[in-house]
Amino acid sequence: MKRAMVWGLLLCLALAGCAPQSAQRTIFAMDTVMELTVYGKDAEENVKAAAERINELEKLLSVTREDSEVWALDHAGGETVRISPETNALLRAARAVGEATGGALDVTLYPVVRAWGFTTGEYQIPDGGTLEELLKKVDYRAIRVEPDETGPANATLPAGAEVDFGALAKGYAGELCAGMLRGSGVESALLSLGGNIQTVGNKPDGSPWVVAVQDPAGEGGESLGTVELTDQAAVTSGGYQRFFEENGVRYWHILDPETGLPARSGLVSVTVVGESGTLCDGLSTACFVLGKDASLDLWRRCGETGLWPTHETTGMADEGGFDLILVGEDGVVTVTAGLRDRFRLDENTGHTLQIVEE
């Protein structure tokens, strides 16, 4: 009788305690709002460490903070600047994505982005002469880094050129934090860095994380579909995220480094899913610029392996390939083979699904 009651009591406690231990943190950093959720024991301590890491990275990588490393690099007037392993990792990632995409991602485009007012919200259409002049300084290949390996280094930027890691930093922050959390024994975490999703493991119940992809055409931020993630990142770039209109024409913030004009490639949004958040972040912008055919070519070439063999190029812990969800102006959603069973298009969105097998 007594034993039965003890078991009953234990069962009751187990049921009451079945909600997993978790901790959540909302932080404003890197020009966005971030929500960090960590599960498991020491969740509070781990989520705090992740938030602190992101704030540290922001101090290093911000293009507007006068005490950041990026600011020092951008205002060195052609002089050589000592950079941290983190800044070096991003320069290396930027070069890898730039080279693989024919310069569709160029981290030295910042002065052109500023000329459009996308950095301040005071939007304007720069005239052709201004763009031509600014584009002369845009070339990621002109950044010199010595030694050409991971770790701290010396970097030199041509006078007048400016780098900005806006297209990489959030993905990198997510990737670094995920690595750090895994190292602390965390088996389940979801980091939402302003539309950049980075996951650690699966949900506490063991099923994959389910992340909605925003419908680029939807008026109220509706869902286009969902994608399942396990230990992966998902990053989206779209023309609907930041834009202004003038005389009925929409101008968005993703610019083609070739022309300095908003990229019009026939795509309205690109979502990249993969193990490396940095790669996903950089490629989402680059593929938006490249358009559907060139993006699928890139996927055929590098989708399996990714762009860097991890430690050797960027020092990042993760490696692996990527898959794409491309949403076209024509309403066609093109999904690459690796997401065949993981992406689900919502009903009644008016889109059609196309799976690319190879």
Partner 1 sequence: MKKGLSNKTWLCILGGVMALCAAAAALVFLRMPKGAVAVVTLDGEEVHRVDLSAVTEDYELSFTGKSGITDVVEVAPGKIRVRQADCPDQVCVKQGWIGTGVAPIVCLPNRLVIEIADGAGKVDGVTG
Binding site for partner 1 (CB under 8 A): 1-2, 5-6, 8-9, 12-13, 15-16, 26-28, 31-33, 120-122, 190, 192, 194-197, 203, 209-214, 216, 218-223, 226-227, 234-236, 238, 241-243, 269, 271
3-class DSSP state of 98: helix
Q: How near is the Cβ of 342 to partner 1 at its closest, in Å?
A: 13
* 24 or 305: CB nearest partner 1: 24
Q: How near is the Cβ of 180 to partner 1 at its closest, in Å?
A: 19
> At which residue do the structure tokens 């290093």 appear?
60
- Spatial distance between the Cα atoms of 154 and 284, rounded to a whole number of angstroms: 28
Beta-sheet pairing, 267-274 with 352-356? unpaired
DSSP state letters, 132-160: HHHHTT--GGG-EEESSSSSSEEEE--TT
* 98 or 225: CB nearest partner 1: 225
* 89 or 227: CB nearest partner 1: 227
DSSP 8-state code for residue 110: H
Q: How near is the Cβ of 158 to partner 1 at its closest, in Å?
A: 30
* 38 or 235: CB nearest partner 1: 235
Q: How near is the Cβ of 142 to partner 1 at its closest, in Å?
A: 31
Cβ neighbourhood burial of 289 (10 Å; 0-12, 13-18, 19+): buried
Q: How near is the Cβ of 296 to partner 1 at its closest, in Å?
A: 20
Q: How near is the Cβ of 104 to partner 1 at its closest, in Å?
A: 20
Residue type at 190 in one-letter notation = L
- Spatial distance between the Cα atoms of 20 and 35, rounded to a whole number of angstroms: 18
* 157 or 273: CB nearest partner 1: 273
DSSP 8-state code for residue 228: E
* 12 or 159: CB nearest partner 1: 12
Q: How near is the Cβ of 61 to partner 1 at its closest, in Å?
A: 17
Strands of the chain, DSSP E = 22-29, 32-39, 80-83, 144-146, 153-156, 188-193, 196-201, 209-214, 223-229, 233-238, 243-246, 249-252, 267-274, 322-328, 332-336, 343-345, 352-356
* 140 or 343: CB nearest partner 1: 343
Which candidate, 353, 239, 306, places its Cα nearest to that of 93? 306
